[in-house]
């Protein structure tokens, strides 16, 4: 599994930094955001180090699909599938990406803002 030295989320995958894990598959990990912006705020990441969603998209067979499927399962298990939720990938400087290991934010549990940016 490709990891990036010093990458925060690779270290969470490796168990070197604690996180509240909510789901795990062979290729993905879902854990609670340390600074939640909504009652439900879970990050879903590929275990392999890929910097952003574009890198995941070109990685090959089905990783982006697996990531999105996990987002949906998280929403169901967190009880927000019916009330509604948002899946967000921040990418790059103007996209507001702070951690350069691809992650999807799954947000729900309250009425989210109309504006996205």
Report the candidate in 38, 34, 33 with the shortest Cα–Cα distance to residue 113.
Answer: 38
Site for Zn ion contains 7 (CB under 5 A)? yes
Q: Which residues does residue 86 pair with via DSSP β-bridges, in sequence order?
A: 107
Judged by CB under 5 A, the number of residues near Zn ion is 6
- In the set 49, 101, 103, 105, the catalytic residue is 103
Verify whether residue 103 is a known catalytic residue. Answer: yes
Site for Zn ion contains 49 (CB under 5 A)? yes
Q: Is 73 helix (H, G, I), strand (E, B) or coil?
A: helix
Site for Zn ion contains 103 (CB under 5 A)? no
End-to-end, the C-alpha distance of the chain in Å comes to 34
Give the catalytic positions in this structure. 103
The binding site for Zn ion (CB under 5 A) comprises 4, 7, 9-10, 49, 101
């Amino acid at each position: 599994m490709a990891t990036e030295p010093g990458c925060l989320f690779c270290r969470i995958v490796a168990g070197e930094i604690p996180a509240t894990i909510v789901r795990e598959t062979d290729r993905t990990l879902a854990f609670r955001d340390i600074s939640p912006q909504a009652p439900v705020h879970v990050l879903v990441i590929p275990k392999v180090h890929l910097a952003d969603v574009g890198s995941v998209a070109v990685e090959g067979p089905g990783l982006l699909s697996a990531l999105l499927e996990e987002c949906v399962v998280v929403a169901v298990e967190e009880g927000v599938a019916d009330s509604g939720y948002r899946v967000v990938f921040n990418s790059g400087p103007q996209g507001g990406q702070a951690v350069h290991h691809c992650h999807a934010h799954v947000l729900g549990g309250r009425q989210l803002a109309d504006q996205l940016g």
